[in-house]
Chain A
């Protein structure tokens, strides 16, 4: 059950310009009992994307045509806070999101993301704000993420295949991000963590033999 490896990505970015955007909003609790075999992308941001009568809410950012192909989410402080539901990550992933960029994120959300091939990138608030402003000003703007090099840059809207940083959005791009070396390796290689731990069983057994707790 190895994950799909993540190396680099250039895609439309979806701005979620709200702090403390919790996992209840990413995936409402009433879908938690749904089987994993379903496409959880249908439940993503459900109560924001749809009105009570089931019709699309045209005001929600994801319902604007330019943002629909988004594969990157730009969030504000404390994105993914709250409940430990891994379903929030499944909903993002099943929709097609492969990276979330925010100034801070919930610890459990980041951990769940890493287990499912969803890259979480923490950047300083001014950098994220600049990217959110840029995507709001130019819906459909693409962001380029390079995990190997640990960089994020704003790309041209309809440029060719090579990500080109845009000067007018700030000379600071590409932004360099830090990532836990273990998480980076898991994502780059699609490492099956459980499979790896099972190769360490002798050490677990040895610990258990001397453990008195």
Chain B
């Protein structure tokens, strides 16, 4: 081979790279002069909001190009009091779930329907089944696709037109986002969870703090977090505006994936783990920005307003708009205080609740239910509070029942329901009534998110449990030390 003056591709590639850049580069088919890159999609997850995308495809006479790279499960429109689609009264909502079943069948896409023991919220099911694997580029027509980055994937949400584009071509045009490293230092105190950490991060950098960026979470605190805790953090990356959230795979990741139905087996497993070990940011890799959070300083958090950035420690008080730094912020705070029915300076623990909701792609996994059950055990839901548990998937539900958690919740007065998105956004009709205050383990406290006029306070599942048995927002640490 003749000697060349130009560095070989291997040498060129030896420049330090971030985890994100490694995955991006591996999936780049071509890059145009205007900076757009055509990316190859490893895996495309579909839920029952996909009907418009399949319709776009039909209008153009196109077929899904790589149905073996897609998988579908209904979660948004399905009932949680029954496993029968006929229980969905609204024909348009029922049609959304039926369309996913029919479109998947016609295209030959793997489909976990209501009668399938693997059904659930797509972002709970895919990691659970071993469908989300390190190094993959994953998309889904849902903003919480950032969840899967916890397994060392690059995963992000897309709109209906892009879903159609991926179905037709198995590719997507993207301009390269910037990178933000969030370093998690210290160690969590008792009663504090991953949900509190991500709420603290959003409060620190703002709901638009990571817009245009992919976040890589790193730092010493990460190693001690379970896979499920990591999924919660990456899930809410979108609530900080982040395009995606990622974490380098490690021993915890490999232990989580091993033996899952779609994970490699035998020799293929060993080879996969060998490959996955390289999926770390190189020591000298440059990030566009970096932020550090000492998780040891984080207390149990709740939101008071209508943006996830409106998060405070439960020991805090409703902020006073008079102390706002400027007129715009004061106006925004007043609007949220009015909508949420609050008084400036009111202790957060004075806020009485009407509803309690444990579930969602953020906090509907088995560890979430365990942490809530630990608070609920031997206690009763407070009078006047309607409390629900909606497991994130049917396997989570079965596992919880095997551990007896269903009885713990039901004996306390919780409703124990079937898996789905349910009251996180209420598309299936599970809503919080106007004016009702809900302690919720979900991801968005937007105006009207859980139903028109609903008042949502975001918090961890253990904190929802504490609120449910107290009848008001409560510091879970006090209930845990009571034991």
Contacts and interface: CB of A to CB of B under 8 A. Distances in A.
Contact of A203 (B38, B60, B452): B38
24 contacts: A20-B208, A20-B307, A24-B449, A28-B448, A30-B426, A33-B77, A36-B55, A77-B208, A81-B208, A84-B141, A84-B143, A85-B49, A104-B208, A111-B159, A182-B36, A182-B173, A193-B165, A197-B165, A197-B173, A198-B169, A203-B29, A204-B169, A207-B29, A213-B27
Contacts of A201: 169
B93 A33 contact: yes
B24 interface: no
A156 to B, nearest CB: 27
Given A20-B207, A85-B159, 16 more contacts: A1-B56, A17-B328, A20-B307, A29-B425, A30-B426, A47-B452, A77-B208, A78-B206, A83-B143, A84-B142, A105-B211, A107-B177, A115-B159, A203-B29, A207-B29, A208-B40
Contacts of B160: 86, 112
B420 to A, nearest CB: 14
A52 interface: yes
A194 B243 contact: no
Interface in A34-87: 34-36, 47, 52, 76-78, 81-86
A19 interface: yes
Contacts of A1: 56, 59-60
Contacts of A138: none
Contacts of A107: 177, 211-212, 241, 243
A25 interface: yes
Contact of A52 (B90, B96, B142, B434): B434
Contacts of A198: 168-169
Given A1-B60, A20-B307, A111-B159, A213 B26 contact: yes
B250 interface: no
B335 interface: yes
Contacts, number: 167
Contacts of A32: 49, 76, 427
B273 interface: no
Contact of A213 (B59, B136, B173, B449): B136
A187 B175 CA distance: 16
B128 interface: no
B143 A194 contact: no
A52 B453 contact: yes
Contacts of A112: 159-162
Nearest to B453: A52
B332 interface: yes
A171 interface: no
4 A-B pairs with least C-beta separation: A78-B208, A112-B159, A86-B159, A181-B34
Nearest to B94: A33
Contact of B170 (A20, A22, A106, A204): A204
Contacts of B426: 29-30
Interface string B127-157: 0000000011000011100000000000001
A7 interface: no
Interface string B429-442: 00000100000000
B182 interface: no
Interface residues on B, range: 35 or more
Interface of B: 26-27, 29-30, 32, 34-36, 38, 40, 42, 49, 52, 55-56, 59-60, 76-77, 90, 92-93, 95-96, 135-136, 141-143, 157-162, 164-165, 168-171, 173, 175, 177, 206-208, 211-212, 238, 241, 243, 306-307, 309, 328, 331-332, 335, 425-427, 434, 444, 446-449, 452-453
Interface residues of A, number: 54
Interface string A170-208: 000000000011100100000001100110110110011
A204 B66 CA distance: 12
A52 B335 CA distance: 18
B29 A29 contact: no
Contacts of B427: 29-30, 32-33
A108 interface: yes
Between A78, A185, A194, A200, the greatest number of chain B beta carbons within 10 A of the residue's beta carbon is seen for A194
A135 interface: no
A116 interface: yes
B444 A182 contact: no
Given A20-B207, A22-B444, A84-B141, A33 B90 contact: yes
B328 A182 contact: no
A18 B447 CA distance: 12
Given A1-B56, A19-B328, A203-B29, A185 B34 contact: yes
B314 to A, nearest CB: 22
Contacts of B207: 20, 78, 81
A182 B174 CA distance: 10
Contacts of B27: 213
A32 B127 CA distance: 26
A181 B309 contact: no
A90 to B, nearest CB: 9
A182 B38 contact: no
A163 B448 CA distance: 39
A103 B461 CA distance: 35
Interface string A84-121: 11100100000000000000111110011001100000
A197 B38 CA distance: 9
Given A33-B90, A200-B38, A213-B135, A180 B161 contact: no
Contacts of B143: 82-84, 108
A204 B371 CA distance: 46
A84 B241 contact: no
A20 B309 contact: yes
Contact of A180 (B35, B38, B90): B35
A38 to B, nearest CB: 10
A145 B92 CA distance: 39
A180 B328 contact: no
